Chain A
Amino acid sequence: MLTIEGVHKTYPGQRRGWRRSAPVQALQDVSLEITRGESFGLVGESGSGKSTLARCILQLEPVSPGRIVFEGEDLARLSPAAMRHARARIQMVFQDPQASLNPRMSVHDIVTEPLVIHREVMGLDARQRTERALELLQLVGLGEQHLFRKPHEFSGGQRQRIGIARALATSPTMLLLDEPTSALDVSVQAQVLNLLHELQQRLSLTYLFISHDLAVIRYMCDRVALIHHGQIVEQGDCQQVFDAPQSDYARQLLAAVPSLEGIGAAGSDGQRTPT
């Protein structure tokens, strides 16, 4: 479905006076293969390059060298027009629905905007677009009454549902989910994760799920890759990576997660109970 082969990405260093600092190696020789219908998790800490990879997949950043092949097409070789068409098939859901939804647009306009942009591919007129918007809202658990409201009238979880509806508007085959639940409370996160799972089953979607939350990745994904300083340090079956990590970095990362299992690790001096 999506093959990433030896992708490198280097950002030029910042100018400091008359000198330039060393260039930043954001991605180094990243290779991944995502098969149709699976959820692939990408885990890394801030600055590890996980969002850069998502931007590279959408060709928002040129890569050199390296190849990104989506459904048999090398994305870098596509003409700008062909790339626009390809983007209808890969859509993205962003972290912060507060920031990624235009506050001055109604839900209707937000959800139908991709249909307008991709009208050559989609071929829907205005009335059909509105119908499609309604269908999408119902798909993500919202209703007709929400169609002409603006983002500020919704809670965080509902806003993320709108973001998902927009991403699904062009019937993509693949979704890039960049920290889709990191800005949400746990109870809402649970709802959104279940919605994503349900949508995947119903629409046979392929997910690239980017997150720093290992518990979420473990819950959502079939396979996982750990990225550290722009390099993939480990990848494999979710179960395997989490239960028997091979690399030192994976072991460190897993050990650092504060788990509910280790209750009361605070030490004995804090354990006094009030009398």
Chain B
Amino acid sequence: MSAPLLEIRDLHLWMRSFEGEAHVLQGVDLQVGHGEVWGVVGETGCGKSLTGLSVSRLVPSPPARYGRGQILFNGQDLLQMSEAQMRQLRGGRIGMIFQDPTTNLNPLFRISEQLVDVALAAAAWRPELLGVPAGASAREKRRAARALSLEMLERVRIPDAAQRLDDFPHQFSGGMRQRVLIAMALIGRPQLLIADEPTTALDVSVQAQVLALLRDMVRDFRMTVLLITHNLGVVAQACSHVAVMYAGSIVERGPVQEVMRRPTHPYTRALLAAIPRREMARGALEGIPGTVPDLIHPPPGCRFAPRCARAQEGCRAQVPALEPVPSALAAGAGHEVACFHAHPVEAAC
């Protein structure tokens, strides 16, 4: 198979704070192939959003500082690019959707204006998007951008899109606003879509619609997606692969069936055990004892060791690297785990 579309190699990120410099990404490694939908899961503060933001280079630095590491997109290192080059990629090759659709739309402008702006900006680098001849006037371009905006709104299944095009954001419901943002992210026909908690602010029924929509868009546009979420149910529904993050590094990754059915890292298993399931007796739910480690003074060795029931002496001395799960335990290829004492037990699902 060809080279992956996105490859994050040993990415380290430090974040300055009052108490000191926190090592928030501690060697993130991820290869995302064309057409794959990767779920990045983890709890608050594990670095999943910063991983996504790093790919679009939206982490403000300072206070952030990149150490080692590369982010290769189509073979080019994004960390070495100039801001001008990044602006070409954002909204063009790399699309983004964020959690809260309300704060990401400007309340003072009609959505048509906001969509047209994005379309024109994307078309500035790739004129073929609008489908107008090279020497077209600004007015013609604008008309074409408007037509494209309407087409995208129809693609994301906004009812009566032609009438809604000139509405203001407040006239849309939460789910509809998220659709507008998806349309906006897809208008530049991105190869890679970064969706950071796209359904967290939505009700379950709306969430199901938005996830179904994303799935169709992935198929129609042959897109690759990095879906950042804390909801393992969403990952199970929408993703082909999953990477579980804990305290700034990936502790387990692989095809979604493989990881969910045969979770190998103690953290992944604890995370799955913490979700209430049907037929579970009250009081039987298992939380994870302890708290997330302090990233300013991280514990030595495996970051999860202080909370892990399986931890032994060796765990506190050395940081385990991501290695393929022993073939005796894994049914499929590509399942990797960073643990010295990995042995899976069939998950209850």
Contact = CB atoms under 8 A, between A and B. Distances in A.
Interface of A: 45-46, 155-156, 185-191, 193-194, 197-198, 212, 214-216, 218-220, 242, 252-253, 255-267, 269-275
Interface stretch (B9-17, B112-120, B130-138, B200-208): B200-208
B211 interface: yes
A117 to B, nearest CB: 32
A258 B208 contact: yes
A186 B287 CA distance: 8
Looking at B43, B234, B272, which has the most chain A CB atoms within 10 Å of its CB?
Answer: B43
Contact of B278 (A190, A218, A255, A262): A218
B282 A271 contact: no
B285 interface: yes
Interface of B: 1, 4, 31, 33, 35-37, 43-44, 174, 203-208, 211, 215, 218-219, 230-234, 236-240, 255-257, 260-261, 270-278, 280, 282-283, 285-288, 291, 332-334, 349
B236 A264 contact: yes
A197 to B, nearest CB: 5
B98 to A, nearest CB: 18
A186 B274 contact: yes
Contacts of B260: 260, 263
A194 B285 contact: yes
Given A259-B233, A273-B332, A187 B271 contact: yes
A236 to B, nearest CB: 16
Contacts of B208: 255-258
Contact of B275 (A155, A156, A186, A198): A186
B143 to A, nearest CB: 34
A270 B276 contact: no
Nearest to A220: B282
Contacts of A219: 276-277, 280, 282, 285
Contacts of A272: 1, 33, 35-36, 240
B236 A259 contact: yes
Given A45-B206, A272-B35, 10 more contacts: A185-B44, A190-B288, A253-B205, A256-B204, A256-B205, A258-B238, A266-B37, A267-B215, A271-B240, A274-B33
B241 to A, nearest CB: 8
Given A186-B274, A263-B261, A274 B237 contact: no
B47 to A, nearest CB: 14
For the complex of A and B, list the 7 residue pairs with the smallest distance between their C-beta atoms, beginning with the closest. A270-B240, A219-B276, A191-B287, A258-B233, A190-B287, A256-B208, A187-B288
B78 to A, nearest CB: 20
12 contacts: A45-B206, A188-B43, A218-B278, A257-B208, A258-B208, A259-B236, A260-B349, A264-B236, A264-B256, A266-B237, A267-B219, A270-B218
Contacts of B261: 263
Contacts of A264: 236, 240, 256-257
Looking at A197, A214, A273, which has the most chain B CB atoms within 10 Å of its CB?
Answer: A273
Nearest to A214: B204
Looking at A186, A191, A198, A242, which has the most chain B CB atoms within 10 Å of its CB?
Answer: A186
Contacts of B334: 273-274
A187 B285 CA distance: 9
B237 A258 contact: yes
B234 to A, nearest CB: 5
B161 to A, nearest CB: 24
A190 B286 contact: yes
A255 B233 CA distance: 13
Given A187-B270, A257-B233, A263 B349 contact: yes
A185 B33 contact: no
B242 to A, nearest CB: 10
A120 to B, nearest CB: 36
Nearest to A274: B33
Looking at A187, A256, A267, which has the most chain B CB atoms within 10 Å of its CB?
Answer: A187
Contact of A269 (B31, B219, B232, B238): B219
Nearest to B290: A187
B349 A194 contact: no
B268 to A, nearest CB: 12
Nearest to B347: A260
Contacts of A273: 255, 332-334
Nearest to B260: A263
A260 B275 contact: yes
A46 B203 contact: yes
Contacts of B44: 156, 185
Nearest to A254: B204
Contacts of A274: 1, 4, 31, 33, 36, 334
Contact of A266 (B1, B256, B276): B256
A93 B231 CA distance: 24
A199 to B, nearest CB: 11
A24 B277 CA distance: 36
Contacts of B278: 218, 242
B236 A258 contact: yes
A272 B5 CA distance: 14
A260 B1 contact: no
A141 B231 CA distance: 27
A269 B37 CA distance: 10
B35 to A, nearest CB: 6
Contacts of B37: 266, 270
A197 B281 CA distance: 11
Contact of B291 (A155, A212, A255, A259): A155
A192 to B, nearest CB: 8
Contacts of B207: 256, 258
